Structure 1
Protein backbone atom coordinates (compact mmCIF):
# COMPACT_ATOMS: atom_id res chain seq x y z
CA UNK A 1 0.00 0.00 0.00
CA UNK A 2 1.57 3.19 -1.18
CA UNK A 3 0.90 6.86 -1.84
CA UNK A 4 2.25 9.12 -4.57
CA UNK A 5 1.79 12.84 -5.22
CA UNK A 6 0.88 13.48 -8.87
CA UNK A 7 2.27 16.63 -10.49
CA UNK A 8 -1.30 18.00 -10.59
CA UNK A 9 -1.37 17.96 -6.77
CA UNK A 10 -3.62 14.93 -6.22
CA UNK A 11 -2.40 12.25 -3.82
CA UNK A 12 -2.76 8.84 -5.43
CA UNK A 13 -3.07 5.72 -3.29
CA UNK A 14 -3.49 2.01 -3.90
CA UNK A 15 -4.64 1.31 -0.33
CA UNK A 16 -8.22 0.53 -1.38
CA UNK A 17 -9.02 -2.62 -3.31
CA UNK A 18 -10.37 -2.31 -5.87
CA UNK A 19 -9.21 1.15 -6.90
CA UNK A 20 -9.06 3.27 -10.07
CA UNK A 21 -5.39 4.22 -9.66
CA UNK A 22 -3.33 1.07 -10.04
CA UNK A 23 -3.34 -0.56 -13.48
CA UNK A 24 -2.14 -4.08 -14.24
CA UNK A 25 -0.24 -3.71 -17.51
CA UNK A 26 1.67 -6.52 -19.20
CA UNK A 27 3.69 -6.29 -22.38
CA UNK A 28 2.67 -8.78 -25.04
CA UNK A 29 5.93 -10.66 -24.42
CA UNK A 30 5.29 -10.81 -20.64
CA UNK A 31 1.75 -12.10 -21.19
CA UNK A 32 2.98 -14.72 -23.67
CA UNK A 33 5.49 -15.97 -21.07
CA UNK A 34 2.70 -16.19 -18.47
CA UNK A 35 0.42 -18.11 -20.83
CA UNK A 36 3.26 -20.52 -21.62
CA UNK A 37 3.60 -21.24 -17.89
CA UNK A 38 0.14 -22.85 -18.14
CA UNK A 39 -1.10 -20.79 -15.20
CA UNK A 40 -4.70 -21.81 -14.68
CA UNK A 41 -5.41 -20.23 -11.30
CA UNK A 42 -5.72 -16.41 -11.70
CA UNK A 43 -4.33 -15.98 -8.18
CA UNK A 44 -1.03 -17.45 -9.38
CA UNK A 45 -0.48 -14.97 -12.22
CA UNK A 46 2.77 -13.11 -11.47
CA UNK A 47 2.63 -9.33 -11.12
CA UNK A 48 3.70 -7.13 -14.06
CA UNK A 49 7.33 -6.00 -14.22
CA UNK A 50 6.33 -2.35 -13.73
CA UNK A 51 3.73 -0.75 -11.51
CA UNK A 52 1.50 1.64 -13.48
CA UNK A 53 -0.69 4.27 -11.81
CA UNK A 54 -3.34 6.46 -13.40
CA UNK A 55 -4.30 9.85 -11.96
CA UNK A 56 -8.09 10.01 -11.91
CA UNK A 57 -7.94 13.84 -11.85
CA UNK A 58 -5.56 14.84 -14.70
CA UNK A 59 -5.19 11.54 -16.58
CA UNK A 60 -1.40 11.28 -16.23
CA UNK A 61 0.02 7.76 -16.25
CA UNK A 62 3.03 7.09 -14.02
CA UNK A 63 5.25 4.04 -14.60
CA UNK A 64 7.29 2.82 -11.62
CA UNK A 65 10.33 0.59 -11.40
CA UNK A 66 10.28 -0.32 -7.73
CA UNK A 67 9.78 2.96 -5.85
CA UNK A 68 11.13 5.14 -8.67
CA UNK A 69 9.02 6.79 -11.37
CA UNK A 70 10.70 5.96 -14.68
CA UNK A 71 8.10 7.52 -17.02
CA UNK A 72 5.17 9.90 -16.78
CA UNK A 73 2.77 10.24 -19.69
CA UNK A 74 0.58 13.34 -20.03
CA UNK A 75 -2.75 13.32 -21.86
CA UNK A 76 -2.82 15.61 -24.90
CA UNK A 77 -5.95 17.56 -25.70
Structure 2
Protein backbone atom coordinates (compact mmCIF):
# COMPACT_ATOMS: atom_id res chain seq x y z
CA UNK A 1 0.00 0.00 0.00
CA UNK A 2 1.32 3.37 -0.98
CA UNK A 3 0.45 6.92 -1.80
CA UNK A 4 1.89 9.68 -3.95
CA UNK A 5 0.98 13.24 -4.80
CA UNK A 6 0.11 13.71 -8.46
CA UNK A 7 1.68 16.61 -10.35
CA UNK A 8 -1.77 18.27 -10.28
CA UNK A 9 -1.78 18.11 -6.44
CA UNK A 10 -4.26 15.23 -6.03
CA UNK A 11 -3.29 12.61 -3.42
CA UNK A 12 -3.26 9.13 -4.97
CA UNK A 13 -3.45 6.09 -2.72
CA UNK A 14 -4.05 2.37 -3.11
CA UNK A 15 -4.79 1.76 0.59
CA UNK A 16 -8.49 1.11 -0.05
CA UNK A 17 -9.41 -2.13 -1.78
CA UNK A 18 -10.99 -1.92 -4.23
CA UNK A 19 -10.01 1.55 -5.43
CA UNK A 20 -10.24 3.62 -8.62
CA UNK A 21 -6.55 4.58 -8.64
CA UNK A 22 -4.68 1.34 -9.27
CA UNK A 23 -5.29 -0.37 -12.61
CA UNK A 24 -4.63 -4.03 -13.40
CA UNK A 25 -2.86 -3.94 -16.74
CA UNK A 26 -1.34 -7.04 -18.30
CA UNK A 27 0.56 -7.30 -21.56
CA UNK A 28 -1.02 -9.61 -24.08
CA UNK A 29 1.78 -12.13 -23.45
CA UNK A 30 1.30 -11.98 -19.65
CA UNK A 31 -2.43 -12.59 -20.05
CA UNK A 32 -1.84 -15.43 -22.53
CA UNK A 33 0.52 -17.08 -20.03
CA UNK A 34 -2.15 -16.78 -17.32
CA UNK A 35 -4.86 -18.24 -19.55
CA UNK A 36 -2.57 -21.13 -20.53
CA UNK A 37 -1.96 -22.06 -16.88
CA UNK A 38 -5.10 -24.19 -17.14
CA UNK A 39 -7.64 -24.45 -14.37
CA UNK A 40 -6.69 -21.70 -11.90
CA UNK A 41 -8.35 -20.02 -8.97
CA UNK A 42 -8.71 -16.24 -9.18
CA UNK A 43 -6.40 -15.96 -6.15
CA UNK A 44 -3.66 -17.67 -8.18
CA UNK A 45 -3.56 -14.95 -10.85
CA UNK A 46 -0.17 -13.21 -10.53
CA UNK A 47 0.18 -9.47 -10.14
CA UNK A 48 1.00 -7.55 -13.35
CA UNK A 49 4.69 -6.79 -13.85
CA UNK A 50 4.00 -3.06 -14.18
CA UNK A 51 1.76 -1.22 -11.72
CA UNK A 52 -0.34 1.56 -13.30
CA UNK A 53 -2.10 4.32 -11.37
CA UNK A 54 -4.54 6.86 -12.83
CA UNK A 55 -5.28 10.24 -11.28
CA UNK A 56 -9.06 10.81 -11.12
CA UNK A 57 -8.58 14.59 -11.36
CA UNK A 58 -6.20 15.12 -14.33
CA UNK A 59 -6.13 11.52 -15.67
CA UNK A 60 -2.33 11.29 -15.65
CA UNK A 61 -1.04 7.74 -15.78
CA UNK A 62 1.85 6.68 -13.54
CA UNK A 63 3.79 3.51 -14.39
CA UNK A 64 5.71 1.82 -11.58
CA UNK A 65 8.20 -1.02 -11.98
CA UNK A 66 10.25 -3.06 -9.50
CA UNK A 67 11.75 -0.17 -7.51
CA UNK A 68 8.30 1.32 -6.71
CA UNK A 69 9.25 4.62 -8.34
CA UNK A 70 7.27 6.07 -11.22
CA UNK A 71 9.34 5.22 -14.28
CA UNK A 72 6.99 6.90 -16.76
CA UNK A 73 4.26 9.53 -16.38
CA UNK A 74 1.79 10.30 -19.16
CA UNK A 75 -0.48 13.34 -19.32
CA UNK A 76 -3.66 13.30 -21.38
CA UNK A 77 -3.47 15.53 -24.43
CA UNK A 78 -6.43 17.65 -25.36
Q: Same fold (TM over 0.5)?
A: yes
Give the 4+ runs in structure 1 shifted more than 2 A.
none
Taking structure 1 as the reference length, the TM-score comes to 0.94
Taking structure 2 as the reference length, the TM-score comes to 0.93
- The aligned residue for residue 65 of structure 2 is 65
Structure 1 segments unaligned to the other structure (5+ residues) = none
Supply the RMSD in Å over aligned alpha carbons: 0.9
Paired residue total: 77
- The aligned residue for residue 13 of structure 2 is 13
- The aligned residue for residue 31 of structure 1 is 31
Which segment is superposed worse, 64-73 or 52-61? 64-73
